[in-house]
């Protein structure tokens, strides 16, 4: 029987989030109904809400959910009612990259997660007064009190860890940590530079502090963010207006989406150094590079969602949060779900690093 729940709906590009009663479809064989306890707010949500991506609106966004399983589809075996779960991206599970343990590069990632608004078969998951809404965002659409979630978006987690403390693991934290652990794989004595000290960048700083890298540099233009980066493990901080001319970095994580910053980062790489591109500028954006400058073995690697296999990666992060070794709480500001617009405004204005909505 379809379930009515309260969701934050974006009516059109640039419109605010408005709370509305919506109806969820019955769970399919590989779907799970989750009662949300918390959900993170990410810049990707804001970008889609602004109309910057071709997601069908009106729609329900949200892709950093955490909650408790209520019911499961007939073919679901990995979770059961009562299990605590963190929600992340979805994937087909059967393409070459999924089978190789790289589901973030699923052949159908874009329509399944970011721009489709429906299940893979084209059917909708959310409606209002009989009219279908854009949903299935990252296989979850977690800006709602209940969400219909793809089985492959679910990760079962330790029920002793408060959901508001781990909701951001599904996207932003996963991305920053994965950039360092899965791509840079920092060696002893290496130098890691993180460009941008937002939620993703600070997650990369925390991850780098848990590696054999001996120099971890955070670069930003906001003094409060740089102070926080120091407290989270950066050995050095740098005002971005000073540039990167003095660095020969082994690894750089670029989170800003600014092409001028990206170019500076490439120029600041040491021989055989790697720059991980995480920040996403508007589609079609290009950057000019000094080709001869790349011949010293420099690598530029694009990254989606930390190139993480979530069912292995997320529980490890949950354990680090529980044990205090990944102090994610330092990034989080909590808001009641009804205050989602205030949380979005605070995020845009830089007042909150990682807003988390609680239900």
pLDDT given at position 190: 97
E strands along 2-60, which residues? 3-10, 17-24, 31-40, 59-60
CATH assignment of the domain containing 350:
3.90.180.10
**Distance from C-alpha of 192 to C-alpha of 84, rounded to nearest angstrom:** 34
Contacts 24+ apart (CB under 8 A), 336-342: 337/8, 337/145, 338/19, 340/8, 340/17, 340/19, 340/41, 340/143, 341/16, 341/17
126 within a domain of the structure (yes/no): yes
Query: Given this model, what pLDDT does residue 142 score?
Result: 98
Q: How many CB atoms lie within 10 A of CB 75?
A: 10
- Main-chain dihedrals φ then ψ at residue 129, nearest 5 degrees: 55, 40
Tell me: do 145 and 186 sit in the same domain.
no
pTM for the model stands at: 0.95
DSSP H or E stretch at residue 84: strand 84-87
Low-confidence ranges of the chain (pLDDT < 50): none
Domain range for 251 is 176-303
Distances in Å between the alpha carbon of 197 and those of 208, 219, 273, 275?
Answer: 13, 7, 21, 16
Same domain assignment for residues 28 and 57: yes
Report the DSSP beta bridge partners of residue 216. Answer: 192
Per-residue model confidence (pLDDT) at position 282: 82
290 and 351 housed in the same domain: no
pLDDT at position 281, please? Answer: 87
Asked if residue 225 belongs to a domain, the reply is yes
Looking at the 3D structure of the chain, how many domains does it have?
2
pLDDT at 311: 94
Of residues 203, 185, 196, the one with CA closest to residue 354: 203
Specify the pLDDT at position 130: 94
């Amino acid at each position: 029987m379809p379930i009515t729940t309260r969701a934050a709906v974006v009516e059109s590009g640039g419109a605010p989030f408005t709370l509305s009663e919506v109806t969820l479809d019955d769970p399919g064989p590989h779907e799970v109904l989750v009662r949300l306890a918390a959900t993170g707010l990410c810049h990707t949500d804001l970008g889609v809400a602004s109309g910057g991506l071709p997601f069908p609106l009106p729609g329900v966004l949200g892709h950093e959910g955490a909650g408790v399983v209520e019911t499961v589809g007939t073919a679901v075996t990995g979770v059961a009612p009562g299990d605590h779960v963190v929600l992340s991206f979805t994937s087909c599970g059967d393409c070459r990259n999924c089978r190789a343990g790289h589901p973030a590069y699923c052949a159908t990632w874009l329509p399944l997660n970011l721009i489709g608004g429906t299940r893979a078969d084209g059917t909708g998951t959310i409606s209002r007064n009989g009219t279908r809404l854009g949903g299935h965002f990252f296989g979850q659409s977690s800006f709602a009190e209940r969400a219909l979630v793809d089985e492959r978006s679910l990760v079962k987690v330790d029920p002793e860890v408060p959901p508001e403390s781990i909701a951001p693991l599904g996207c932003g934290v996963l991305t920053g940590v994965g950039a360092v652990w899965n791509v840079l794989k920092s060696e002893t004595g290496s130098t890691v530079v993180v460009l941008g000290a937002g939620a993703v960048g600070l997650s990369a700083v925390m991850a780098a502090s848990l590696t054999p890298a001996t120099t971890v540099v955070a670069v930003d233009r906001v003094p409060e963010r740089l102070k926080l980066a120091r407290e989270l493990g950066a050995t050095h901080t740098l005002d971005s207006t000073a540039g990167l001319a003095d660095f020969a970095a082994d690894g750089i994580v670029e989170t800003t989406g600014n092409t001028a910053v990206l170019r500076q980062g490439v120029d600041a790489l040491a021989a055989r150094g790697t720059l991980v591109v995480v920040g996403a500028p508007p589609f079609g954006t290009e950057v000019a590079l000094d080709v001869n400058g790349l011949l010293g073995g420099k690598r530029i690697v694009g990254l989606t969602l930390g190139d993480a296999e979530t069912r292995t990666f997320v529980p490890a992060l949950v354990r680090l949060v529980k044990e205090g070794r990944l102090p994610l709480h330092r990034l989080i500001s909590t808001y009641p779900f009804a205050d989602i617009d205030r949380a979005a405004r605070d995020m845009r204005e830089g007042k909150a690093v990682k807003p988390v909505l609680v239900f």
